[in-house]
Each structure stands twice: as structure tokens, then as C-alpha cells.
Amino acid sequence: MTEDARDEVDRLVAAWRAERPDLDVEPLQVLSRVSRLAKHLDRARRAAFAEHDLEPWEFDVLTALRRAGKPYELSPGALLRATLVTSGTMTNRIDRLAQAGLVRRRPDPEDRRGVLVSLTETGLARVDAAFADLLRRERELLSGLGGADQRALASLLRTLLAPFDSPL
């Protein structure tokens, strides 16, 4: 820490050091910042989507379908794995998206337990517009870092995420 650009987290760490000098609070330097940045990112996302009349949760589902490529169709199970929510939540989300005319539900012809969810025309247009907007904002959020730094950051984060990806 030869840095002296103190931010909220530096202050938080300093406060802990004063109160609990017996503990090694270094992990907070990384992980508190991850949490806080995620929170700010959530706000940026919310703002970007609001302009396209989408809630973050709607966007989550729609992008999962969009990424799947034509015919933009996935099962609820695949969607909940992609979005890391519970099945009850996904049922609820699909209900409301269908009601809003952004997705369609149909029985899976191969498995009578199953259902397939697909984007409507409207849903496709909406998600594409919102995604372009989101990227614009994310790029701006990252503008404080050069390309090399961004790649370094991505690489460090990838290392931290590795243990979660395989067993999941």
C-alpha cells in the first residue's frame, strides 16, 4: 500500500485496524471493493434498462435467450442455471415476461414435463437495444483503466472465479 489515493474501502480498512489490530483485514481490500463495485454496477444497469422499459431481472432472462441464438428458445431449467435464481423465481419471471409479450411459452414436444420459452419479436428488439445501451455505459464505467489494465483485471478476476465454475 504505497498508494495514498484513499477511498471508502481504505477508510473502512483503517477503521477495522484501529478497532481490531489483532486481525488481518487485508482480504477486505479486494472483496469489499468487489461488493461495492457490484452494487454500483447494479445501479448503472438499472438506469440503462429503464430507458428501454426493462427491469434488470427481465433483461437477465431475455439476454440468456438472446445469447442462445436462433430460435432464441430455452427451457426454464436452462434459464435458471444461466441466471442463478431458484425455480420459483424463474416461473414467476416467465409468467410476467409472457404477460408483457416479450416471451412465449410452449410445451416441450420431447419431454412432457418440460416447457420451452422463446423470445417474441418485441422481446428480441427490446433486448438488443438495451444491451447496446448497457455496453455503452459499462465502457464508460471502465474508462478509468487502459486496455492493458482492463485485461489484467479480467485475468485476476478469472482466477478468483475459477473454483466456482467447475463444480457448479
Q: Under the rule (CB under 8 A), what is the footprint of a copy of itself?
A: 1, 3, 5, 7-10, 12, 15-16, 18-20, 23-31, 33-42, 66-69, 84, 128, 131-132, 135, 138-139, 141-142, 144-145, 149-165, 168
3-class DSSP state for residue 117? strand
Specify the residue, 110 or 165, whose C-beta has the smaller distance to a copy of itself: 165
Integer CA distances (angstroms), 94 to 62, 73, 79, 101, 156, in order: 10, 12, 10, 10, 35
141 binds, among DNA, a copy of itself, none (CB under 5 to 8 A by kind): a copy of itself
89 binds, among DNA, a copy of itself, none (CB under 5 to 8 A by kind): DNA
Question: In 3D, which of 144, 120, 110, 149 has the Cα closest to residue 62?
Answer: 120
Tell me the C-alpha distance between 73 and 122, whole Å: 14
**What is the smallest separation between the CB atom of 2 and DNA, expressed in angstroms?**
35
Cell 409472457 maps to which residue? 98
100 binds DNA per the rule CB under 7 A:
no
91 binds DNA per the rule CB under 7 A:
yes
Residues 7-46, one symbol each (x = binds DNA by CB under 7 A, - = not), give ----------------------------------------
Specify the residue, 84 or 148, whose C-beta has the smaller distance to DNA: 84
Question: In 3D, which of 71, 75, 102, 70 has the Cα closest to residue 90?
Answer: 75
Question: In 3D, which of 2, 42, 87 has the Cα closest to residue 75?
Answer: 87
